[in-house]
Amino acid sequence: MVNRNQAPAIHSIKKLFIPPTNIYAFENGTTVCEVNLGSQDILKIEVVHKAGRSTEYQRLVSRATASLLKEGTSNKSSAAIAEEIDFYGSSIKTASNMDFAYTTVYCLLKYADQALAMVHELYTSPSFPEEEIEKFKKLNIQKLHDELSKNEVLTYRQLTEEIFGKNHPYGYNSTEADYMDIDRTSILQHFNDFYGTDNCYIFVSGKITDAVRRKIQNYFGQTSKLSVKKQYTPVTVSHEGRTIHLYSKNEHQSALKTGFRLFNNTHPDNAAFFVLNTIYGGYFGSRLMTSIREKSGLTYDIFSNMDQMLHDGCFYVSTEAATEYIPKIFDEIYHQMDRLRQKKVKKGELEMVKNYLTGNFMNMLDGPMNVASFAKTMVLTDKKPEDFNTFFNEIKSIDALHILDTAQKYFIKEKMIEVIVSPEQ
Helix 347-364 to helix 270-277 angle (10° resolution) is: 110
Contact between 202 and 47 under an 8 Å Cβ cutoff? The reply is yes
Determine the Cα–Cα distance for residues 267 and 269; give it in Å rounded to an integer.
5
Among 220, 252, 282, where does a domain finish? 220
Does any domain span residue 17?
no
Same domain, 187 and 260: no
For 44, the enclosing helix (H) or strand (E) is strand 42-49
The one-letter amino acid at 174 = S
Q: What is the pTM of this model?
A: 0.93
12 in any annotated domain: no
**What's the confidence (pLDDT) of residue 285?**
95
Give the whole-angstrom CA distance, residue 192 versus residue 183. Answer: 14
Domain boundary among 189, 220, 251: 220
Q: Which residues make Cβ contacts (< 8 Å) with residue 331, sequence separation at least 6?
A: none
- 205 and 281 share a domain? no
Are 216 and 253 within one domain? no
Note whether residue 5 is domain-resident: no
Cβ neighbours of residue 203 closer than 8 Å, sequence gap 6 or more: 32, 33, 35, 44, 45, 46, 48, 372, 375, 376, 379
Question: Starting from the edge strand earliest in sequence, which strands make up the sheet with 313-321, in order?
Answer: 242-248, 417-423, 254-261, 313-321, 302-308
In a domain, 230, yes or no: no
Q: Taken in order 31, 307, 297, 275, is the CA torsion positive or negative?
A: positive
**Same domain, yes or no, for 353 and 248?**
yes
347-351, Cβ contacts within 8 angstroms, sequence gap of 24 or more: 347/400, 349/279, 350/275, 350/279, 350/398, 350/399, 350/400, 350/403
Whether 266 is in a domain gets the answer yes
Instruction: Kindly report the three-state secondary structure assignment for every residue of 289-352.
Output: HHHHHHHCCCCCCEEEEEEECCCCEEEEEEEEECHHHHHHHHHHHHHHHHHHHHCCCCHHHHHH
Q: Are residues 262 and 319 in the same domain?
A: yes
The DSSP code sequence of 105-130 is EEEEGGGHHHHHHHHHHHHHSB---H
- Please check whether residue 235 lies inside any domain of the structure: no
Question: Any residues with CB less than 8 A from the CB of 345 and at least 6 apart, and which?
Answer: 279, 400, 403, 404
Please identify, among 165, 185, 220, the residue that sits at the C-terminal boundary of a domain. 220
What is the domain range of residue 188?
Answer: 22-220
Query: What is the CATH number for 399?
Result: 3.30.830.10
Residue 377 phi, psi (nearest 5): -60, -40
C-alpha span between 325 and 333 (Å, rounded): 12
Clarify whether residues 367 and 414 are in a common domain. Answer: yes
> Is 231 a member of any domain?
no
pLDDT in tens, the chain (425 residues): 677 888 777 777 888 999 999 999 999 999 999 999 988 999 999 999 999 999 999 999 999 999 999 999 999 999 999 999 999 999 999 999 999 999 999 999 999 999 999 999 999 999 999 999 999 999 999 999 999 999 999 999 999 999 999 999 999 999 999 999 999 999 999 999 999 999 999 999 999 999 999 999 999 999 999 999 888 888 888 778 999 999 998 778 999 999 999 999 999 999 999 999 999 999 999 999 999 999 999 999 999 999 999 999 999 999 999 999 999 999 999 999 999 999 999 999 999 999 999 999 999 999 899 999 999 999 999 999 989 999 999 999 999 999 999 999 999 999 999 999 999 87
Residue 108: closest CA among 87, 127, 126, 125? 87
Q: Are residues 189 and 331 in the same domain?
A: no
Within a 10 A sphere around the Cβ of 393, how many other Cβ atoms? 14
Count of domains in the chain? 2
Give yes or no: residues 116 and 50 share one domain: yes
Same domain, residue pair 256 and 206: no
The Cα–Cα gap between 78 and 216 comes to: 24
**Separation CA 369–CA 371 (nearest Å):** 5
C-alpha 223: how far from its chain's center?
Answer: 30
Q: Establish if 87 belongs to a structural domain.
A: yes
Give dist(CA 362, CA 340) in Å, integer: 28
Is the same domain home to 96 and 42? yes
One domain, residues 26 and 155: yes
Segment 123-169, tens digit of pLDDT = 999 999 999 999 999 999 999 999 999 999 999 999 999 999 999 99
Rounded distance between C-alpha atoms, residue 81 and residue 129, angstroms: 13
Per-residue confidence (pLDDT) for residue 1, from 0 to 100? 66
| 261 and 389 both lie in a single domain | yes
